Structure 1
């Protein structure tokens, strides 16, 4: 099915005019026939993404939309609806009356440095909320940022880059990375693990562009741009704009550090550095599209929000009294039904509310409670709630290892999933240590079921994490040895081998 003016998507959204388009699809203004309002509809083509299974892509798309819709922040575009129709995925969003940041920058040359600070501060507030979930945007750039008429900044496309590429920035069959090379962090360009630090690098590129009028690294080819990201230092902005405060220049250089560990620790930290440079409190001007206008300290991130424990779940279905075996069985059946309908968040809430009562009735270490806790951890993981899943998985791993030994398959699986949580939470060093700890058990085939396959996956993840930590030599050696073993086991045509070979080829080109 092709998009055309007048076409009605999902029986209610009538397409009107094209707002923009790219390799993955189009964005349209549309009319919501049911609620009588203007919306924006993004249409994505799964068949445009090399190497992706269409049904798996649809499943991940819906899951990602569900997770991102839970982020409540005025600096994020509101998601109204999402799904698939025919060969397309669609995302229905709030219509933003304003200009994208790229057009805004082009219309104001030079861009006032106070405006640049105001834009960056608003972006920090958004990223602080997003990273606390945790979600990584992966494609922060001026085209994905809107400046509304009142000067407020709104971020678009949260989660879309993640859907288009499940394992960080995958190379397409043409050898071109998915994403925007001009705004791509070194670890992302090399196919390493991404985290909040990746978005902070992109923020540094955006801030450099606002202050200097150009991105720090440009070139005639994507490979040339990525090579400069990896090896060239950025030009300090005060050499172009001497009026820029020294503290602001220093912050931009920290954000553009090649090593993620040398960047600021969080978006909130960046905000605190920007705050003294924000416009003084007072009456904002009446001019439209002035990004300094909202600042009476509006949407500042909450202190230490990323480290605030998640609230206890509120059950969607009340659990009254102390449930017996029959009550637990009914609740488990309800959870299965909800999961079958894709209502994962409700299933998580029911399990979270059921566990304390079940532990009181049967004992914290009973088989019934152990089964419920495993389902709870697995559901949290599937729902992308990595911060809440991590302690559950660690506890399950420790208890199982104490009973059956460190080489027990279930204990190892829980540790492997805990490492995945650490990876998603933007803790590459901790994830790397955990993967390295479980790898010998899989390599020595202590685990009969799936050992070699899991060993290959763990080694691949180790290689990507080494890239994220800036150790490209070790990453290259790790992936080269893995490629040899994969081809020895499965032959040269295996998909994992092809993926590793592309990454190694890219890595070799850039290093050369």
Structure 2
């Protein structure tokens, strides 16, 4: 795959944001609806032949399982199709922090914040379990926190139906699906997997959010599986003294060796978490401004190096997109083009000013009046400095007022 490739005669790939053993995830744009998307590919030829049929079934199941869940904590699935020898899923592009990165940065999250994240996960799990789906691979790498503080669960690729006629494990002989550090004992032993496995994984994640490490550590995967099945349940208050006893007891129960030792439902766990929720809704991801992160995944490196020539080329590309009325995509091109120029925002560089002005106009055309207003006001402030284009500054003030009117403010 390459940037600018077109998939399904409507999705244009922009840059890669993730790669696994059997596929890739790309950021892209839906040309028809002018919206950013994530395109996840299964490269069939990279899958061992004896596992290919299973991988294809799992990939299609991911699309259908995720599409069935109408919940703000699940990325929206837009499309499923084939591109040459590859299958692809088109999904909502999620921006924010991967929880694993947040834990690595913060080491230990505040009790209220960890409880808030876990409660949101419970809300998604409740919807999934009521739809007869169990995720089976919950882990910090599969949890995203958006800049608005919304937790989204990614990758239902190993989800299994819970119906009596279809307790499908979709697993190759001898393989255990799931991630060893968060896998329930019954899952590790190859037994039947139900909602309790997701609650066990949530217990592991809560433990890690509060202590900085998973409940068990081992040198290899087989040893990790044995530890989940046989080692004593760790008591979290021995690792962190400020964890309330009731929350510690809940985590201990979530880590029960048998599903019957754990709380019965995700709704019950959510209610038990309520007393510990942070009064301050802002998460660490919001405080740090968030980052573009993975969209199953999902984030992406900024491919722009910031030379004047590259800025000009991207400016031209955005103008071409704007002529096709692909305003949102054009605006994103300019956003990425301007990132290396952040240090010269106060400088009246004509090229940078022209790009910033076009970005503000594109956001206005796309209906993003709040961001456009802020862009125009900031530009006006810069242009009104000594040596700036005072007339253009006044025009920016007028455009900012127009946006204010559109916002009804």
* TM-score, with length taken from structure 1: 0.51
Change (3 A) 1:207 1:59: closer
Q: Could you list the per-position Cα deviations for residues 152-181 of structure 1 after superposition, in whole angstroms to 9, with x for gaps in the alignment? A: 101111244549x98427356xx5533211
For 1:111-510, list aligned pairs within 5 A. 111-162=109-160, 167-168=168-169, 170=171, 177-280=176-279, 284-285=281-282, 289=286
Helix, strand or coil: the match of 1:52? Answer: helix
- 8 Å contact from structure 1 (residues 135, 159) kept in 2: no
Number of residue pairs aligned between Structure 1 and Structure 2: 283
Post-superposition shift, 1:7?
Answer: 2.2
Shift of 1:50: 6.7
- Mapped to 2, the partners of 1:290 and 1:167 lie a distance apart of 42
Cα distance in 2 for partners of 1:118, 1:76 equals: 17
Give per-residue Cα distances to partners, 1:397-429, cap 9 Å, x unaligned: xxxxxxxxxxxxxxxxxxxxxxxxxxxxxxxxx
Matched-pair contact (CA < 8 Å) for 2:61–2:157:
no
Classify the secondary structure of the residue corresponding to 1:40: strand
The 1:290–1:139 alpha-carbon spacing in structure 2 relative to 1, beyond 3 Å, is farther
Partner of residue 396, structure 1 = none
Query: Does the Cα contact within 8 Å between 2:181 and 2:217 map onto a contact in 1?
Result: yes
- Tell me by how many angstroms 1:238 deviates: 1.0
Shift in alpha-carbon separation, 1:112–1:20, aligned structure 2, 3 A: same
- Decide whether the 8 Å contact of 2:98 with 2:140 is kept in 1: yes
Change (3 A) 1:285 1:205: closer
What's the CA shift string for 1:22-61, capped at 9, x where partnerless? 223222211222211211111123452674353x754664
The CA distance in 2 between the partners of 1:166 and 1:127, in whole Å, is 18
Give 1:93's match in structure 2, choosing from 91, 94, 97.
91
Q: Answer yes or no: is the 8 Å Cα contact 1:18–1:28 preserved in 2.
A: yes
In the alignment, the residues of structure 1 paired with residue 170 and residue 221 of structure 2 have an alpha-carbon distance, to the nearest angstrom, of 14
In the alignment, what sits opposite 1:311?
none
Give the direction of change, closer, same or farther, for the CA distance of 1:60–1:209 in structure 2 (3 Å limit). Answer: closer
Secondary structure, counterpart of 1:107 in structure 2: helix
Per-residue Cα deviation, 1:60-86 (whole angstroms, up to 9, x for no partner): 644552343122111111111112223
Q: Flag the 1:170–1:286 CA change in 2: closer, same or farther, 3 A.
A: closer
Displacement of 1:204 after TM fit?
A: 0.8
1:103: which partner in 2? Answer: 101
Name the counterpart of 1:28: 26
**Unaligned stretches of 5+ in structure 1?**
292-512
